[in-house]
Structure 1
Amino acid sequence: MTDGNDIPTTELRRTDRLLLRPPTMEDLQFLTELFARPELVAHRPVPRPDSPEESAARLAKDMAHWQQHSFGRFAVIANGELIGFGGVTVSNEFEGLNLSYHLDPRSWGHGYATELVRGILTFAFEELGARRIIGLVRPANPASRRVLEKCGFGFEGQVMLHGAPTNLYSLLS
């Protein structure tokens, strides 16, 4: 069964206000614009926007994760508009699934991040059988820290990630 866009409806997820679906190549333009926004990349070790090629590689990696694992980062839609990406992926560096999300700054302040994270946690624990989920947040990003704390994550400690201090949060099933 599909939703008319060749996306199996079994891969669609909904929260109260959000539709979550696997990413597609049609998302590339939005993703490129999203990762070109200075306020989105401000918390990276090197706070520069992605090049179009880096965005294309990011999307290809996300789509490959879906192909390999049948889950990953979702495209996030609110009010019929793509507003970002978020989900859980297999972590090669830490025990547990890695939660990440990137929302268009124009959608910040509406509670979408918290709603997205709660929906992803339900999916990961109930449908994927996850036992541990981690969230990695730069110390200079208090908004993301607050989202994780509201959703029940606890601080574990600081790690070095891509050459920069990063706070590691976790949540157990």
Structure 2
Amino acid sequence: MTSSEVQAAGASAIRYTGRLTLRQPEAQDIDFIADMFSRNELVAHRPDPRPDTPEESAARLARDTAHWRDHGFGRWAALAGENLVGFGGVTVSKEFKGLNLSYHLHPDYWGQGFATELVMEAIRFGFEDVGTRRIIGLARPANPASRKVLERCGFSLEREVMLHGAPTNLYARER
């Protein structure tokens, strides 16, 4: 699907699930992002498990904003009530066939079902609004929580790939 076809799909900037409000990331989210990616437990499964610097967090937010501008959709900021709990959604993959699912929750909100809720809405959006036939999710073998979320949401392990110099499991869900 081309960028113009994706934009023509008419992505709504705000979506609602049972407990979450999903919206485009905003500049005011930077402090939350910097705090979230400074947490050792959040970055523990990276090839280099070093927390992000404030500049790296700002670059992350800039990439998310640019994706929305370029494609008309992207990773959402996820709020439970008034509290920002994380970010996630689908983005155009440059390396793999299908949209790429990604999600990060602040550790304070782990274990409450928010990741599953966010992922299910991202799947619904990718298939129904964007019209993709395939969504992929990438999880490090050492991150069983991420693997469980993907499996719970109907993804199947397809193969191992090298990503950023480390073995990574590629999961896929077809429409």
* Aligned counterparts of 1:100 and 1:83: Cα–Cα separation in 2: 14
Q: Aligned letter for 1:43?
A: H
User: Structure 2: which 5+ residue stretches go unaligned?
Assistant: 1-10
* Aligned counterparts of 1:124 and 1:138: Cα–Cα separation in 2: 23
Deviations 1:39-78 (A, max 9, x none): 0000100001000000000000000000000100000001
Question: C-alpha root-mean-square deviation of aligned residues, in Å?
Answer: 1.0
Aligned residue in 1 for 2:72: 70
* Aligned counterparts of 1:11 and 1:79: Cα–Cα separation in 2: 17
Deviations 1:8-53 (A, max 9, x none): x931011100000000111011100110000000010000100000
* Aligned counterparts of 1:85 and 1:157: Cα–Cα separation in 2: 25
**Which structure has more RCO (C-alpha within 8 Å, separation ≥ 6)?**
2
Aligned residue in 2 for 1:60: 62
> Which of residues 83, 86, 89 is equivalent to 2:85?
83
- Report the number of matched residues: 165
Q: Aligned letter for 2:112?
A: H
Residue 80 of structure 1, CA deviation: 1.4
Aligned residue in 1 for 2:138: 136
Residue 172 of structure 1, CA deviation: 0.5
TM-score normalised over the length of structure 2:
0.93
User: Structure 1: which 5+ residue stretches go unaligned?
Assistant: 1-8
Q: What is the SS of the residue equivalent to 2:51?
A: coil
Q: Report runs of 4+ in structure 1 exceeding 2 Å deviation.
A: none
Q: What is the SS of the residue equivalent to 2:12?
A: helix
Q: Aligned letter for 1:40?
A: L
Aligned residue in 1 for 2:128: 126
* Aligned counterparts of 2:81 and 2:58: Cα–Cα separation in 1: 25
TM-score normalised over the length of structure 1:
0.94
